């Protein structure tokens, strides 16, 4: 970070007590740090401390004549190579999202051409609030980097997503070479992702079928997010009423058997498989050639199990990273973890479904489980959630690849000895 000029905005959250440490870490890497405090930040951390560690007078007031005479706010906005706001409260996110500029920090953010990164920190319920999530989406879409938040214990005594990233992690994120930062923006560049989406329809006769309420929205949002993350996407979809995302050609299928065939004839070279389809568990043993006529008061249809597409992929010898969904109406955690193991998956994304929840809705709330971890995602639009899920899948995929390379390295000497 040699001579990188960082304008560090500190806003009023309890995590502000970690910012003198953050300034020191940035300075150790060679950065020049100018601190700007908001009024509420001064309740948590003092100008004296920050001036001592940064070696520069702290700026806190847009109307400070002396400071403005030394370096006016527009000049300060031009001076910065990066604007970093840590901690970033829900309030500053709202101000940035709306473009309002009632104080020095927000004015600088509007006036700068430098990239902006923020490290949100707030109570996990606040972080989950739809207003905050909408603001986060707006900021991300405008190219503002969102660092974290981390999941864990909170100052309020609760646990969840909302902790500010640790100073070291913030420094690592802002110091990462451009290639790594690009990898964050396009984490799936060069990878092929196959996604199944929508319901399947299992015919009973030429005009009737068994199906479910899946709208395909989650799978389509994932396809879009994976494509925007740089992946080549193969979308295999049952019948839905929404258009394929831009730039993605969907393979349309009707029933589970066709979906199974489409998946397995295109699975070579797939790096990541995401089973988001609500595949019917059964199909009719006999499909009537003609429309079934009503006769008796009761009728029964003999059904046979459909192949499990997801677990058939997860059991391939050269298997892709495999993620599935578990839509449950109860016991979410237990059923989801059971499926993770039974289907030999790398990850399971679990959501409660039922009246106005999950299926056919524009929002979703999910818990994600993998073998040694889990993460919950607050209720948010499926398009926003899809981006987060794709980022998490990309991270877990990369970690898996790195662990495999590491294992191959440690196995090498044994092979050499045998030769
Ligand atoms: O066992 P259950 O149907 O709850 O598992 C759901 C997950 O398995 C989803 O990811 C779904 O796409 C996948 N699945 C599948 N083929 C089936 C049934 C489910 O790929 N026949």
Q: Is 385 helix (H, G, I), strand (E, B) or coil?
A: helix
Residue 310 Cβ contacting ligand 1 at under 6 Å: yes
Among 167-176, 279-288, 382-391, 397-406, name the most confident range.
Answer: 279-288
Distance of CA 395 from the midpoint of ligand 1 (Å): 23
With a 6 A CB cut-off, is 306 part of the ligand 1 pocket? Answer: yes
Name, in order, each residue with C-beta under 8 angstroms of 414's C-beta and a sequence gap of 6 or more. none
Residue 409 lies in a domain: no
74-115 pLDDT, tens digit per residue, is: 999 999 999 999 999 999 999 999 999 999 999 999 999 999
Which of 140, 80, 69, 131 shows the shortest CA–CA distance to 105?
Answer: 80
Q: At what angle do helices 130-141 and 90-98 cross, to 10 degrees?
A: 50
149 is written with which tokens? 């938040």
In this predicted structure, what is the pLDDT of residue 358?
A: 56
Structure tokens at 416: 């050499």
Q: Does the Cβ of 253 fall within 6 Å of ligand 1?
A: no
Tell me whether residue 109 is one of the annotated catalytic residues: no
Residue where a domain terminates, one of 148, 175, 202? 175
Question: Residue range 334-356: average pLDDT?
Answer: 91
Is pLDDT at 347 greater than 70 in this prediction? yes
For the entire predicted model, the pTM comes to 0.66
- Expressed as residue numbers, the domain containing 33 is 5-175
Look at residues 53, 58, 56, 60 and name the one whose alpha carbon lies nearest to residue 18.
53
Within 142-200, residue ranges assigned H as helices are 167-175, 178-185
Number of domains in the chain: 2
Say if 365 falls within a structural domain.
yes
Split at pLDDT 50, 70, 90, the class of 16 is very high
Mean residue pLDDT of the chain comes to: 90
Q: What is the CATH number of the domain that holds 355?
A: 3.40.50.10300
At 241-269, the pLDDT tens digits run 999 998 898 999 999 999 999 999 999 99
Q: What is the mean pLDDT of residues 174-191?
A: 74
* 23 in the same domain as 171: yes
CATH code (residue 53): 3.40.50.1950
Determine the Cα–Cα distance for residues 119 and 25; give it in Å rounded to an integer.
Answer: 15
326 CB within 6 A, ligand 1: yes
Query: Under 8 Å CB-to-CB from 81, ≥6 apart: which residues?
Result: 4, 5, 6, 114
What spacing in Å lies between the alpha carbon of 196 and ligand 1's midpoint?
A: 10
Q: Is position 415 within any domain?
A: no
Ligand 1 centroid – CA 145 distance (Å): 35
Q: End of a domain among 110, 145, 175?
A: 175
Tens digits of per-residue pLDDT, 192-208? 999 999 999 999 999 99
Q: Which residue has the higher pLDDT, 206 or 71?
A: 206
pLDDT at position 418, please? Answer: 37
Averaged pLDDT, 294-310: 95
* Distance from C-alpha of 123 to C-alpha of 159, rounded to nearest angstrom: 9
284 vs 379: which has the higher pLDDT: 284
Is the CB of residue 119 less than 8 Å from the CB of residue 25? no
Q: Which atom of ligand 1 is nearest to the CA of 256?
A: 21
175, 203, 233 — which closes off a domain?
A: 175
């Amino acid at each position: 970070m040699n001579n990188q000029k960082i304008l560090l905005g500190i806003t009023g959250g309890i995590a502000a007590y970690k910012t003198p440490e953050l300034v020191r870490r940035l300075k150790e890497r060679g950065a020049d740090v100018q601190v700007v405090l908001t009024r509420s930040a001064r309740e948590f951390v003092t100008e004296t401390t920050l001036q001592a560690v940064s070696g520069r007078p702290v700026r806190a007031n847009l109307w400070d004549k002396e400071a403005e005479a030394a370096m006016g706010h527009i000049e300060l906005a031009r001076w910065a190579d990066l604007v970093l706001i840590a901690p970033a409260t829900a309030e500053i996110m709202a101000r940035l999202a709306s473009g309002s500029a009632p104080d020095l920090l927000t004015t600088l953010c509007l006036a700068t051409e430098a990239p902006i990164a923020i490290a949100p920190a707030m109570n996990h319920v606040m972080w989950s609030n739809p207003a905050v999530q909408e603001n986060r989406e707006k900021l991300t879409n405008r190219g503002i980097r969102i660092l974290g938040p981390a999941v864990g214990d909170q100052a309020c005594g609760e646990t969840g997503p909302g902790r500010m990233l640790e100073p070291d992690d913030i420094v690592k994120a802002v110091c990462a070479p451009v290639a790594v930062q690009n990898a964050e923006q396009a984490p799936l560049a060069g990878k092929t992702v196959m996604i199944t989406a929508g319901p399947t329809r299992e015919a009973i006769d030429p005009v009737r079928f068994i199906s479910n309420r899946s709208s395909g929205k989650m799978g389509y949002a994932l396809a879009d997010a994976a494509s925007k993350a740089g992946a080549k996407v193969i979308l295999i979809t049952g019948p839905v009423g929404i258009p394929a995302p831009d730039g993605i050609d969907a393979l349309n299928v009707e029933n589970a058997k066709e979906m199974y065939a489409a998946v397995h004839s295109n699975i070579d070279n797939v790096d990541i498989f995401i089973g988001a389809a609500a595949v019917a568990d059964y199909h009719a043993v006999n499909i009537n050639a003609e429309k079934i006529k009503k006769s008796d008061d009761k009728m029964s249809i003999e059904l046979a199990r459909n192949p499990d597409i997801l677990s058939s992929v997860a059991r391939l010898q050269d298997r892709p990273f495999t993620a599935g969904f578990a839509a449950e109406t109860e016991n979410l955690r237990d059923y989801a973890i059971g499926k993770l193991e039974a289907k030999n998956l790398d990850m399971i994304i679990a959501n409660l479904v039922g009246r106005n929840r999950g299926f056919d809705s524009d929002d979703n709330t999910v818990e994600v489980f993998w073998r040694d971890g889990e993460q919950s995602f607050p209720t948010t639009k499926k398009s926003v959630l899809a981006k987060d899920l794709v980022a998490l899948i990309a991270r877990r995929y990369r970690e898996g690849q790195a662990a495999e390379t590491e294992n191959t390295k440690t196995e090498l000497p044994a092979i050499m000895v045998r030769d």
